[in-house]
Chains A and B, each alone.
Chain A
Amino acid sequence: MTAEKAQAYPIGPELAQKIDHVLDAHDHDATQIVGVLLDVQDLIAEQYVPESVAFYVAQKLPIKVSIIYDCLTFYAALSDKPRAKFPIQICRSVVCKVNDSDSLLERLEKILNIGVGDVTYDGRFTIEEVPCFGACDIAPAVRINGKVYGHLNTDESVKELLAQFI
Chain B
Amino acid sequence: MTQEVRFITKNFGKYDPMSIDSYLSIGGFEALKRAVEMDGEDIASVIADAKVKGRGGAAYDMGRKWSQARAVKGDHKLNICNADEGEPCTFKDRELIKNDPFNLIEGMIIGGYTVKAQDGYIYMREEYRHLRPLLLNAIKQCEERGFLGHNILGKGFDYHIHLYSGAGAYVCGEGTALIRSIEGKAGRPRMKPPFIKVSGAFALPTCVNNVESFSIVPHLLMDDEHEYTSYGSGESIGTKLVSVAGNVRNPGVFEVPFGTPVRDIIYDLAKGINGGYGLRLIQFGGASGKITDKRILDVPYTYDDLKAAGVTVGSGAILVIDERTSVLDFLRMTQDFFSHESCGQCTPCREGNRHAKIILKKIADGVATEDDIKTLKKIGSIMTLASLCGLGETAQCATLSAMEIFPETFAVGGAK
| Chain A interface residues (CB < 8 Å from chain B) | 30-35, 37-38, 63, 67, 70-71, 73-78, 92-95, 97-99, 130-139, 143, 146-148
| Chain B interface residues (CB < 8 Å from chain A) | 85-91, 94, 125-130, 164-170, 181-188, 202, 243, 245-247, 251-253, 287, 319, 321-322, 324-325, 330, 333-334, 336-337, 340-341, 343
Of B167, B185, B186, B251, which contacts A77 at CB under 8 A? B167
**How many Å from the CB of A64 to the closest CB on chain B?**
11
* Cβ A147 vs Cβ B126 within 8 A: no
* Cβ B337 vs Cβ A32 within 8 A: no
Bound CA–CA A159/B295 (angstroms): 42
The list of the 5 closest CB pairs from A to B, nearest first, reads A75-B167, A77-B168, A76-B168, A74-B186, A132-B88
Closest to B247 in A: A98
Bound CA–CA A132/B169 (angstroms): 11
Of B167, B247, B321, B341, which contacts A34 at CB under 8 A? B167
Q: Which residues of the partner chain B approach A67 to less than 8 Å between Cβ atoms?
A: 184-185
**How many Å from the CB of A137 to the closest CB on chain B?**
4
Given contacts A71-B185, A76-B169, A136-B88, contact A35 B246 (CB under 8 A): no
Given contacts A71-B185, A131-B88, A131-B340, contact A98 B167 (CB under 8 A): no
Bound CA–CA A91/B62 (angstroms): 33
- Starting from the known contacts A76-B169, A95-B245, A137-B243, 8 additional A-B residue pairs (CB-CB under 8 Å) come to A31-B183, A75-B187, A94-B334, A131-B88, A132-B87, A134-B90, A134-B125, A137-B252
* Cβ A98 vs Cβ B337 within 8 A: no
Q: Which residues of the partner chain A approach B185 to less than 8 Å between Cβ atoms?
A: 67, 70-71
Of A34, A38, A146, A148, which contacts B184 at CB under 8 A? A34
Bound CA–CA A109/B353 (angstroms): 29
* Cβ A38 vs Cβ B126 within 8 A: yes
Given contacts A38-B126, A70-B186, contact A94 B167 (CB under 8 A): no
* Cβ A98 vs Cβ B168 within 8 A: no
Given contacts A67-B185, A70-B185, A94-B319, contact A38 B88 (CB under 8 A): no
* Cβ A94 vs Cβ B184 within 8 A: no
Of B87, B89, B186, B322, which contacts A71 at CB under 8 A? B186
**How many Å from the CB of B381 to the closest CB on chain A?**
23
Q: Which residues of the partner chain A approach B253 to less than 8 Å between Cβ atoms?
A: 137
Bound CA–CA A63/B169 (angstroms): 22
* Cβ A137 vs Cβ B251 within 8 A: yes
* Most chain B C-beta atoms within 10 Å of own C-beta, residue among A31, A73, A99: A31
Bound CA–CA A41/B122 (angstroms): 22
**How many Å from the CB of B222 to the closest CB on chain A?**
29
Bound CA–CA A114/B388 (angstroms): 39
Bound CA–CA A77/B88 (angstroms): 17
* Cβ A134 vs Cβ B128 within 8 A: yes
Given contacts A33-B184, A92-B336, contact A38 B287 (CB under 8 A): no
Bound CA–CA A63/B183 (angstroms): 12
